Structure 1
Amino acid sequence: MTGHRTDEHPHGADRLCEAADRVYSRAVRRGRVPRHDADHVPCLLELGLLHPDPDDMDWLVPTSPQEVMTRLLRGVYDEISASHRRVGSAVAAFDRYAGLGGRAPGAHHGEGTSALRVLDGPSRIQAALDEATEACTTEVLTVQPGGIRREHELSEGLHRALALRGRGVRMRDLYNHVARHGQGLLNYLELMGDAVEARTLDEVIDRLILFDRTVAFVPANADRTMALELRHPGLVAYLVTVFERLWRLAVPLTAPLPDTRIEGISHREQSIAALLAEGHQDAVIAERLGISVRTCRAHIARLSETLGAASRTQLGVRIAQVGLNGPAGPLSFPDQSGQPDQESRTVR
């Protein structure tokens, strides 16, 4: 590969150059290609899409497309997680710096600036949400983390949802996969009809509500007794981008979860396996997937039995051996128009 520079192929594994596409496609079809076929496409080796055949170093074998997709999706998940952390840091910094000076013109006493308000207490949060609901005319985007939604949680915001539906406002909601098993959620979506479209993911970010892409609400503390009302255009646009990326990765509620392709292992167990491989404890895994610690441990026990692992250490080895140490399933439900597609309809 002498004489070839990396910047001749400025791309990632998700968008190969034409020459690399031909060589990699040929390698996948045939199982391997001669090493000299890759001389003019060093990007395939640099990206780890081809690697030497241990039985014959004059040949190169391809990394499986499934493994490549898993790697790409892991990068997307990491990017989204990092983005969410940066949003939190930016909001915290803005709040701290805003408090160093005098009260901004037009600010409400004790509430910060008009671009960022701290809402202290459930009553003030509810009042702000009601105000935003009344002003909303087009679209509401929400992320609802946690497990199966309880009836009282759903009923708390039902009056706002019905008011929005009455004005023709469209709503899109993101939940954890486990929320699919809650009858309360299914009843709520049935009541709302075509006004609400729902999708699910293994993991979602913390609670987020966006009205007309102009105002957003996020929790300000762990027990959600305080919230931030954000109206800064840059922050709101950033949160919209985060939501849209999660939406494209999510599974429509009417669609089944993808098969793990490994007999006896469910989609949820594959998600747990991926988090175990990252070194997370049971309580952290349970929180991220919206399930109880007891349920999480039951799945881990079943996973150990299925994979024939007698200990946690052995389970980690077996997870890597069978390829469960990546995100669950390559999912893609593209939406070229920027609007929700017809496959994400609610359960009717």
Structure 2
Amino acid sequence: MSEQVAHPHGADRLCAAGERAYADALRAGRLAREAADDATCLIDLGLLHPDPGALEWLLPTSPQAVMARLLRGIHEDIAASQARTGVVAAAFERFAALDAPAPAGTEAIRVLDGIPRINAAIDEAIADCTTEALTIQPRGIRPEHVLSQALPRALDMVGRGVRMRTLYTHVARYGTGLADYLHQLEGRAVEVRTLDEVTDRLLLFDRTVAIIPAAADDSSALELRHPALVEYLATVFERLWRLAVPLTEAVPAATDIEGVTHRERVIAALLAEGHQDAVIAQRLGISVRTCRHHIGRLADVLGSSSRTQLGVRIAQLGLDAHPR
């Protein structure tokens, strides 16, 4: 006789040995006891029981009887869960009356998972906006289809008297889509400025609600309504706004160091902070290849033959501070 093994499962999901033995017993009407040595679970679960007239044989319990027993157990479990639900509800019902409900939409921080929920929150904030919308858009040139989708929202807001101010990186100036977008908003309360680098995306409405990314792939966001947090973000925006260059003005072309452009001066400061090429490219809204081209030109101008020597030259010439 083989060694018996434990079968940690219920009758609703038999092991392979149990299925074979139970099927054989149903077909033949009985099963030799030694044939069930690898499926002792069938006896434990009551699917097989000894034949009173011949103890060396096992008789199968009908599937209908097994099913009825299992369903009865499930119904009993459901009834017990419902009873526990009633007990819990009764225990805390008296506390519910003491809890003053918060006004709808006043949660200090709300996590928005998925693009549909993010867009729905943005639509709601735009619909409620009455005075001012502040926006920071990183990542360089804005795709034309994205701007086309945003245009109806912008027209709706400015049509209601909302003032719009938006910050982009300098790279965004070279996208034709932005010029077309602003042309259709011309003559309205819309202002655009650019910087070498900006923060991550920020949407701020009436200084009461802000939406910021919560994941690098934009799959989730945070909706902030806490007054202190919203005011802090508004202050950050205003400080960047004062440093930014209006779209109607030219971007600084060079620094006071001969041969070093304004952008290369910004890259030098980011290199001095220890950032890798990919990070610098993302912050400036340019490709990694373009970023490395600027770094190579900067090294040539400063007479550096290695990355370490370039860092030393940047510090010596005072290029480690961000230009205004």
Distance 1:286 1:304 in 2: 17
Give 1:121 shift. 1.3
Q: Which residue of 2 aligns with 1:339?
A: none
Distance 1:197 1:250 in 2: 12
Number of the residue aligned with 1:240: 234
User: 2:320 & 2:226 partners in 1: Cα distance?
Assistant: 39
TM-score by length of 1: 0.61
Q: Which residue number in structure 2 is paired with residue 178 of structure 1?
A: 171
- Corresponding residue for residue 305 of structure 1: 300
1:232-266 alpha-carbon deviations (Å, 9 max, x no partner): 22211111111111111111122222331222221
What does residue 280 of structure 1 align with?
A: 275
Q: Secondary structure of the equivalent of 2:181? A: helix
How many residue pairs get aligned? The number is 225
CA positional deviation for 1:269: 0.8
Cα pair distance change 1:217/1:104, threshold 3 Å:
farther
Compute the displacement of 1:140 (Å): 0.3
What is the aligned counterpart of 1:164 among 134, 151, 157? 157
Task: Determine the C-alpha separation between the residues in 1 that align with 2:118 and 2:245.
Answer: 30
Question: Displacement of 1:104 after TM fit?
Answer: 8.5
Show CA shifts across 1:99-120 (max 9, x none): xxx9983487xxx962222222
Amino acid aligned to 2:300: E
Give 2:130's aligned residue: 137
Q: In structure 1, what is the Cα distance between the partners aligned to 2:111 and 2:308?
A: 45
Q: Relative to structure 1, is the Cα distance of residues 165 and 107 closer, same or farther in structure 2, using a 3 angstrom cutoff?
A: closer
Distance in 1, Cα, partners of 2:234 & 2:299: 39
1:217 maps to 211
For 2:271, the aligned partner's letter is L
Aligned residues with identical type, % of pairs: 68
8 Å CA contact retained: 2:106, 2:225: no
Q: Does 1:187 align with 2:187?
A: no
Larger Rg: 2
| 1:139-194 Cα shifts (integer Å, max 9, x gaps) | 10001111111112222322211101211211000111221211111221222123
The 1:151–1:241 alpha-carbon spacing in structure 2 relative to 1, beyond 3 Å, is same
Matches of 1:179 and 1:264, distance apart in 2: 24
Preserved CA contact (<8 Å) 2:299 2:310:
yes
Secondary structure, aligned partner of 1:217 = strand
Name the counterpart of 1:97: none
Partner of 2:3: none
Contact conserved, 1:119 with 1:125, CA < 8 A, in 2?
yes
Secondary structure of the residue aligned to 1:173 is: strand
State the distance in 1 between where 2:206 and 2:316 align: 47
Q: 1:105 aligns with which of 83, 87, 101?
A: 101
Alignment-derived partner of residue 315 in structure 1: 310
Give 5+ residue unaligned stretches, structure 2: 1-95
* Maintained 8 Å contact 2:142/2:177: yes
Which amino acid in structure 2 is aligned with residue 291 of structure 1?
I
C-alpha contact (below 8 Å) 1:104/1:113 kept by paired residues: no
- How far residue 321 of structure 1 moved from its aligned partner, in angstroms, is 2.6
